[in-house]
Amino acid sequence: MTTQDPTDTTVPFVLPGPPPIRETLAGWEQWRATRTAFVPAPRLGLATWRMLSPRQRMLHDLHRTATHANLPLQQTPMSQAVAKLMRGRIESNAVKHKPTTRAGVMITGGGYQGKTETACEVAAAFEDAWLELHHYLNPDAVPGTRDLHAPVAYVQTPVTAKPKSTCKAILSFYGADTRRMDLPDLVRQVRDSLHDHGSKALLLDDITRLRMHRADDQDTLDLIRAFMNMHVTLVLIGVDIPGSGLLREGRHDPRTGQWILPTSTRAKTFGLEPTQTERRFDLIELDRFRYDTPQHITAWTSHLAGLEQHLRLLKAPPGMLTDGTMPEYLYRRTDGVVGLLERLVEDGCREAIATGEERLTQTVLDSIAIDLTSAPGRDPDAGEVPTVPAQPTRTRGTVTGSKRKRRRSTVFDDHGPTASGATP
């Protein structure tokens, strides 16, 4: 048993455990309940840090590293538009009692642009409010039962999706037994699970893993669209949805701004097409930042200022990420993609702490390579890994610190008679 050092003035810090698996009901609930629980490292000046004991310094540096690795999700003008549309659609559908098909939402954009985190945050905020509204009880529960209440279900589309594997992925979220079930049984089980758990929103991530040239994927898309009969808001998240072929049978309604898709052609065999109602989706793009107008530059700089507030470097000056040419440099390194920016800043902070630089400079960041070749859980063939801008070329003799060694002047050096061409 160890006792705490009475002179230890740093915040008690416990390394976070393994991240929750949001693809299960228990994991989703754990993530939703703890998503804002992380306490960042306190702000210390260099003089205060030097007064700490070696152990305290080590713990504080570890806490700072964890802080930079768990930067909070920042809202952007693009994510705010997505949140407004998605939250409004889920809320409207949740209180709708008409036996009509609920309109869905499609969120598109490039890889590492925050689509998944934005959608999950919106869904979690809705679930928080919905549970509080109903006193954490399922208002649709069968009398005499105690079904788990799960207003939101989050599922990742299987890499090689088929109707059966997609149904099993959804049922896996609820922990349902899928053994010895054929497709009609699986579909009925999905319908019953959504209803029994009071699910109001079904998030299907990485939907563009479907390839429309494959018959199995076409069947899967038809099945997913037929799920809209289950009185649940379908939220499809994917990279470049317009270019993926998912909308090839649809038509755009300029009056409502929605994409209208015809009824499924194959899902009728699953017993999910009792009506000929067309499926409607609101398509919205979560785009990257731009840097070509004063408004875009201002938005990018404001985002950098917000990010800077969460960094814990001992020598960081005000405007570290926003002054001078730093905003343009960071944009050039990340192409305005928030996920790449977070990776660059996180690795840069780690380098700054390790070298004692304790600030982010262009020289420090030049030494950081953004490598996404082995990104876990990403399918490069589906566009989930973006193109990373090239790392700046470092010239010979460049050092990673903010000060470079000044070369000695040799103008007045006496190089001897040989150098001057004289004979001895």
Domain boundaries, the chain: 25-75+290-371, 77-285
pLDDT of residue 408: 42
pTM for the model: 0.84
Question: CA-to-CA distance for 225 and 280, rounded, in angstroms?
Answer: 10
pLDDT in tens, 88-97: 999 999 999 8
As a whole number, the mean pLDDT across the chain is 84
Q: How confident is the model at residue 153 (pLDDT cuts 50, 70, 90)?
A: very high
> How large is the average pLDDT for residues 388-402?
60
pLDDT reading at 257 higher than 60: yes
> How large is the average pLDDT for residues 43-54?
94
Other C-beta atoms within 10 Å of 263: how many? Answer: 16
Which one is predicted more confidently, 11 or 79? 79
Packing angle of the helix pair 215-226, 163-174 (nearest 10 deg): 40
Which one is predicted more confidently, 211 or 396? 211
Q: What percent of the chain clears pLDDT 90, i.e. is strictly above it?
A: 56
**Strand order from edge to edge, sheet including 233-237:** 152-156, 201-205, 233-237, 104-108, 279-285, 258-261, 251-253
Three-state SS at 106: strand
Q: How confident is the model at residue 4 (pLDDT cuts 50, 70, 90)?
A: very low
Q: Which of 282, 204, 211 is nearest to 250 (CA)?
A: 282
Q: Which residues contact 238 (CB under 8 A, 6 or more apart)?
A: 106, 107, 108, 115, 205, 206, 207, 208, 209, 244, 246, 382
Cα 36 from chain centre = 15
pLDDT in tens, 340-385: 999 999 999 999 999 999 999 999 999 999 987 766 667 676 667 7
pLDDT in tens, 294-347: 999 999 999 999 999 999 999 999 999 999 999 999 999 999 999 999 999 999
pLDDT reading at 421 higher than 70: no
pLDDT in tens, 275-290: 555 688 999 999 999 9
CATH number of 77-285: 3.40.50.300
